Amino acid sequence: MTITTCIFDAYGTLFDVAAAARIAASEPGRDDLATCWQKLASDWRLKQLQYTWLRAVADAHCDFWDVTQHGLDWAMENNGLADAELRERLLQLYWELQAYPEVPEMLAALKQAGYATAILSNGSPAMLDGAVRSAGLVELLDDTLSVEDVQIFKPDRRVYDLVGKRFGCTPEQVLFVSSNGWDAAASAGYGFQTVWVNRAGEPMDRLPWTPSETLPDLTTIPALAAQL
């Protein structure tokens, strides 16, 4: 069935989640962070995700901004960083995450080809709005869909239901793109055509489902959508 709708995860897929730590580490007076920013960024992201999964299982939903702060607090302690000003700076930068370099041209090509484009994310509406505006992507996306509408984090099926409700499409008409292997796999189980953007060259997650495609970045998404 022809693809009509291209949906993207936000954090790690369109937006570089390591950018906040990388930028902060480059600022004057950040010597302690400069020696560990990559590990801090990795710890932060891992705990952020783990807290969403645990809250989903425990039926203890909260705003994604809360788990983002909790993940950072754990990561800072794990890396021996006790600096309230640095914490506030990292959180500020998270609202201004950089998009990956290929993102604007890729989204523009999809729009020109007539596809509907949107984000489907664990992020809260306010966080997503800040990221989209900061990256200059407002005119390239038809919508930003947030789990706050269903009060549970991915990969619950109710999150993926939001796409069909918004765009009136069947799962087979959706190309869903995520940098999270588990998200790409779970959405494939839901019925989407899926792409795992595996920038780090990680192994495939051992799950009952596998993504339709695996790519190193987002550059060829418009060509792939046209082939499906």
Cβ distance 115 to 6 under 8 Å?
yes
Q: What is the DSSP letter of 194?
A: E
Report which of 178, 162, 167, 170 is spatially closest to residue 211, judged by C-alpha positions: 178
For residue 208, cis peptide bond before it (omega within 30 degrees of 0): no
Tokens of 74: 């754990």
Separation CA 225–CA 63 (nearest Å): 32
149 in catalytic set:
no
Cβ distance 103 to 29 under 8 Å?
no
Say which of 9, 16, 43, 183 is annotated catalytic. Answer: 9
Under DSSP, is residue 145 helix (H, G, I), strand (E, B) or coil? strand
Q: At what angle do helices 64-78 and 84-94 cross, to 10 degrees?
A: 140
Percent helix, strand and coil across the chain, each to the nearest 5: 50, 15, 35
Tokens of 54: 């645990």
**Catalytic amino acids?**
9
